[in-house]
Amino acid sequence: MQLVVARIGRAHGIKGEVTVEVRTDEPELRLAPGAVLATDPASTGPLTIETGRVHSGRLLLRFEGVRDRTAAEALRNTLLIADVDPDERPEEDDEYYDHQLIDLDVVLTDGTEVGRITEISHLPSQDLFIVERPDGTEVMVPFVEEIVTEIDLDEQRAVIDPPPGLIDDRAEIASARDDESGADETDGNDD
């Protein structure tokens, strides 16, 4: 199975280094010197990582055969793809690869069907499950332990305990205006 592990950014310096947007929780494994990665577009690869280092909080990579800024800039926006055994699991018990989560059934803690995961959206603050409901609509579920209470890969399901309003219309709306005593209600018309 192939997984996107990074996207190449802009060139850094004049000796062929590039910045990369890391898309894996295991960069030390997937983006190590000597790793051979497929690319999208395929015409730019495969690429073999020669060196890697962190500079100002960003990962910089140099690939074999890329020796100057022009060659590095030509790789910009290329996706780096690693071959991964589909049965391989991350080292931590509470971590998952996207391909393990796609197509899981999503149910509430009482067993009520919500839908199935069709996509994982990786945002800076948290990951989101994009869940397709039986009626074809989609709902976004934050992948945080307070909401996603269980992932059961053997049963192919994710159990969620969402707050009111996340997947239904029963939102509890609280307003500071509700607490004001003696406030006159108006219809919004000033006559």
DSSP code of residue 42: G
CA gap 105, 101 in Å, rounded? 9
- Count of C-beta atoms within a 10 Å radius of residue 156: 12
- Return the pLDDT at 26: 74
pLDDT band at residue 126 using 50, 70 and 90 as cut-offs: confident
- Return the pLDDT at 86: 66
Looking at residues 150-172, what average pLDDT do you find?
A: 82
From the number of C-beta atoms within 10 Å of its C-beta (0-12, 13-18, 19+), residue 188 rates as exposed
Is residue 110 within 8 Å of residue 55, measured between CB atoms? Answer: no
Provide the whole-model pTM.
0.56
Percent pLDDT > 70 in the chain is 84
Q: Between 73 and 86, name the one with better pLDDT.
A: 73
Residue 117 has pLDDT above 70, yes or no: yes
* 162 phi and psi angles, rounded to 5 deg: -80, 150
- The string over 78-110, giving b where at least 16 C-beta atoms fall within 10 Å of a residue's C-beta and e elsewhere, is bbbbbebeeeeeeeeeeebbeebbeebbbbeee
pLDDT band at residue 169 using 50, 70 and 90 as cut-offs: low
Residue 129 has pLDDT above 80, yes or no: yes
Residue 172 has pLDDT above 60, yes or no: no
Residue 22 has pLDDT above 80, yes or no: yes
